[in-house]
Amino acid sequence: MSDFYIILTGTLVAIACGILGCFLILRKMAMVGDAISHAILPGIVMAFLWSGSRDSVTMLLGAGTLGVLTTIIIEFLHKKGQLQTDASIGVTFTWLFALGVILISAFTGQVDLDQECVLYGEIAYVPLDTIILSSGRDIGPKALYLIGSVLIFVILFVSIGFKQLEITSFDPEYAVALGISATLWNYLLMAFVSFTTVASFESVGAILVVAFLIAPAATAYLISKKLKTMILLTCLIGFISAILGYYLAVALNASIAGAMATVCGLIFAIVFTYIRIMSKKVTKVTNLESAKA
């Protein structure tokens, strides 16, 4: 049963991150996802210090606030400060992450909240922390419910706002001319990236979150002709990565999150190579045809 829970958690994280990752890639903001997943650390710590509990909702609020704040700072440095996007991302998230590290080491030494857990997570412990009803019935791991409900919100958000997310990703200026606020949808998307990241943190850690945000969506981007296809393929690739990653980790007796991220990378490499070979074949065929003619 614990195999099943681990794979299911991995899959749900992969799908929630992947759906949002598609839009990040199309907006050329892949690194913003990376930045947010790190920069929310001080938000988590402050929410913890303020409320004194590791209650998920408080953490989500703290992280969400910091996520949107990160986006605002990056935009500000880029637009008003005349700094390149990549430089403003780099400055913002390293600084915020470091602030989080200081907060953790200075104030929360006594409790179970450490950088290690935030960075690597421990998906293997997911099945151990279950919800037990007052009747004594065990209804499954806590992490599963948390990421499951976040995934439902992500799916609702993307299916209701699909048109708006699509148009503000493709042509933000035109969207504004139509009366659709590109800024609003940008911040909504970033808030969702923050929520999803923090909900996935505890179980899978920052590194796997970043991998799931970008790698499956980047792979799907290579082979999709439509946005909807790209999103569905991303989910499929995430699912495959979670399964294969789990069994790879079992076979090697290694970190599960690490193995899942590795499989994401491998799938990308395979698809990329396949496309390169196919496009070479096509040019060869056309060359031959033109030579004949």
Burial of 108 by CB count in 10 Å (0-12 exposed, 13-18 middle, 19+ buried)?
A: middle
User: Cβ of residue 32: shortest distance to other proteins, in angstroms?
Assistant: 16
Q: Does 179 bind other proteins (CB under 8 A)?
A: yes
In the list 106, 110, 225, 290, the residue contacting other proteins (rule: CB under 8 A) is 225
Residue 28 or residue 280: which is nearer to other proteins going by CB? 28
User: Cβ of residue 79: shortest distance to other proteins, in angstroms?
Assistant: 10
Q: Does 137 bind other proteins (CB under 8 A)?
A: no
In the list 106, 177, 251, 291, the residue contacting other proteins (rule: CB under 8 A) is 177
In the list 183, 229, 279, 286, the residue contacting other proteins (rule: CB under 8 A) is 229
Q: Does 153 bind other proteins (CB under 8 A)?
A: no
221: Cβ contacts below 8 Å, ≥ 6 apart: 22, 25, 26, 230
User: Cβ of residue 14: shortest distance to other proteins, in angstroms?
Assistant: 20
Torsion sign over Cα 54, 55, 56, 59: negative
Q: Does 76 bind other proteins (CB under 8 A)?
A: no
Q: Does 88 bind other proteins (CB under 8 A)?
A: no
Q: Does 161 bind other proteins (CB under 8 A)?
A: yes
Q: Does 167 bind other proteins (CB under 8 A)?
A: yes
User: Residue 256: CA atoms inside 13 Å, Cβ hemisphere, count?
Assistant: 23
Residue 234 or residue 255: which is nearer to other proteins going by CB? 234
Q: Does 112 bind other proteins (CB under 8 A)?
A: no
In the list 11, 169, 197, 219, the residue contacting other proteins (rule: CB under 8 A) is 169
Tell me the window of 147-155, 174-182, 194-202, 242-250 that interacts with other proteins (CB under 8 A). 174-182
User: If we measure between CA atoms, which residue out of 187, 236, 232, 177 comes closest to residue 29?
Assistant: 187
Q: Does 278 bind other proteins (CB under 8 A)?
A: no
Footprint (CB under 8 A) of other proteins, residues 181-210: none
> Tokens at residue 59, please?
């953490």
Tell me the window of 10-18, 94-102, 119-127, 222-230 that interacts with other proteins (CB under 8 A). 222-230
Q: How far apart are CA 42 and CA 97, in angstroms?
A: 7
User: Cβ of residue 149: shortest distance to other proteins, in angstroms?
Assistant: 22
Q: Does 176 bind other proteins (CB under 8 A)?
A: yes
Judged by the rule CB under 8 A, the positions of this chain that interact with other proteins are: 26, 28, 82, 160-161, 163-164, 166-167, 169-171, 173-180, 221, 224-227, 229-230
